[in-house]
Chains A and B, each alone.
Chain A
Amino acid sequence: MLLTPNAMGPRLRIGLYLTTGLIALFLLLPIVFIVLLSFGSSQWLVFPPPGWTLKWYEQFFANPEWMASVLTSLKVAVLTTLCAVALGLPTAFALVRGRFPGRELLYALFTLPMIVPLVIIAVAVYALFLKLGYTGTLFSFVVSHVIVALPFTIISIINSLKLFDQSIEDAAVICGASRMQAVYKVTFPAIRPGMVAGALFAFLVSWDEVVLSVMMASPTLQTLPVKMWTTLRQDLTPVIAVASTLLIGLSVLIMVIAAALRRRNEVSA
Chain B
Amino acid sequence: MSAVIKESAQADQPLVSLRNLNKYYGDFAAVDNISLDIKEGEFLTFLGSSGSGKSTTLSMLAGFETPTSGEIQVEGKSLIKVPPHKRDIGMVFQRYSLFPHLSVRDNIAFPLTLRKLQTAERERQVDAMLKLVQLDDFAHRRPAQLSGGQQQRVAIARALVYEPRILLMDEPLGALDKKLREELQDELRHLHRRLGITIVYVTHDQEEAMRLSQRIAIFSHGKIVGLGSGYDLYQNPPNAFVAAFLGNSNFLRVKAQGDAAAQFESQSLAMRPTAGLQAAQDLLLMVRPEKAQALTSQQAMQEPLAAGWNEIGATVNEVVFLGESLTYNVVTAGGTSLTVKALSGNLLPLQAGAEVRVRWAAADACVYSEWSESDLSKTAGAH
- Stretch of A68-76, A131-139, A173-181 that contacts chain B: A173-181
Q: Mark B77-99, 1 if CB is under 8 A from A, else 0.
A: 00000011111111101110111
B97 and A170: CB pair below 8 A? yes
B64 contacts the other chain (Cβ, under 8 Å)?
Answer: yes
A186 partner residues in chain B, CB cutoff 8 A: 99
What is the number of residues of chain A that contact chain B, defined by CB distance less than 8 Å? 21
Q: Would you mind naming 18 contact pairs between A and B with Cβ atoms under 8 Å apart? A: A165-B95, A168-B98, A171-B158, A172-B99, A174-B63, A174-B84, A174-B85, A174-B90, A175-B110, A175-B114, A175-B162, A176-B85, A176-B86, A176-B162, A189-B99, A190-B100, A190-B101, A269-B100
A4 contacts the other chain (Cβ, under 8 Å)?
Answer: no
Chain A residue with Cβ nearest B145: A268
- 15 other A-B residue contacts (CB within 8 Å) besides A167-B93, A171-B98, A171-B99: A167-B94, A170-B84, A171-B97, A171-B155, A172-B110, A175-B85, A175-B158, A175-B159, A176-B162, A177-B85, A178-B83, A178-B85, A268-B142, A269-B100, A269-B144
B124 contacts the other chain (Cβ, under 8 Å)?
Answer: no
Which interface residue of A174, A176, A181 has the most chain B CB atoms within 10 A? A174
Q: Mark B133-164, 1 if CB is under 8 A from A, else 0.
A: 00000000010100000000001001100100
B97 and A167: CB pair below 8 A? yes
A173 to B83, CA, bound (A): 9
Q: Mark A149-182, 1 if CB is under 8 A from B, else 0.
A: 0000000000000000101101111111111011
B194 contacts the other chain (Cβ, under 8 Å)?
Answer: no
A196 to chain B, nearest CB (A): 14
B158 partner residues in chain A, CB cutoff 8 A: 171, 175
Which of B98, B114, B155 makes the CB contact (< 8 A) with A177? B114
A189 partner residues in chain B, CB cutoff 8 A: 99, 101
Residues of B near any A CB (own CB < 8 A) = 62-64, 83-91, 93-95, 97-101, 110-111, 114-115, 142, 144, 155, 158-159, 162
B256 to chain A, nearest CB (A): 51
B62 and A174: CB pair below 8 A? yes
A174 partner residues in chain B, CB cutoff 8 A: 62-63, 84-85, 87, 89-91, 159
A176 partner residues in chain B, CB cutoff 8 A: 85-86, 88, 111, 114-115, 162
B155 partner residues in chain A, CB cutoff 8 A: 171
A177 to chain B, nearest CB (A): 6
B162 partner residues in chain A, CB cutoff 8 A: 175-176
A177 to B115, CA, bound (A): 9
A181 and B114: CB pair below 8 A? yes
Q: Which of A179-213 contact B (CB under 8 A)?
A: 179, 181-182, 185-186, 189-190
A175 and B111: CB pair below 8 A? yes
A189 to B110, CA, bound (A): 14
Please classify the interface of chain A as helix (H, G, I), strand (E, B), loop, or mixed, using the class held by over half of its residues: helix
B91 and A171: CB pair below 8 A? yes
B114 and A168: CB pair below 8 A? no
B43 to chain A, nearest CB (A): 19
Chain A residue with Cβ nearest B144: A269
B144 partner residues in chain A, CB cutoff 8 A: 268-269
A185 to chain B, nearest CB (A): 8
A178 partner residues in chain B, CB cutoff 8 A: 83, 85
A177 partner residues in chain B, CB cutoff 8 A: 85, 114
B142 and A173: CB pair below 8 A? no
Chain A residue with Cβ nearest B99: A186
A163 to B83, CA, bound (A): 26
Q: Which of A78-120 contact B (CB under 8 A)?
A: none
A173 to B114, CA, bound (A): 10
Lowest 10 A-B CB distances belong to which pairs? A175-B111, A171-B97, A189-B101, A174-B91, A176-B114, A167-B97, A168-B97, A167-B93, A173-B85, A173-B84
A181 to chain B, nearest CB (A): 7
B86 partner residues in chain A, CB cutoff 8 A: 176
A179 to B84, CA, bound (A): 9
Which interface residue of A173, A176, A177, A269 has the most chain B CB atoms within 10 A? A176
Q: Using known A-B contacts A177-B85, A190-B100, A268-B142, determine if residue A171 contacts B114 with beta carbons closer than 8 Å.
A: no
A171 and B142: CB pair below 8 A? no
Chain B residue with Cβ nearest A174: B91
A60 to B346, CA, bound (A): 99
Which of A167, A173, A185 makes the CB contact (< 8 A) with B95? A167
B89 partner residues in chain A, CB cutoff 8 A: 174
B167 to chain A, nearest CB (A): 10
B100 and A170: CB pair below 8 A? no
A167 partner residues in chain B, CB cutoff 8 A: 93-95, 97
B23 to chain A, nearest CB (A): 16
A174 to B79, CA, bound (A): 14
A67 to B178, CA, bound (A): 68
B309 to chain A, nearest CB (A): 53
Which of B64, B98, B115 makes the CB contact (< 8 A) with A170? B64
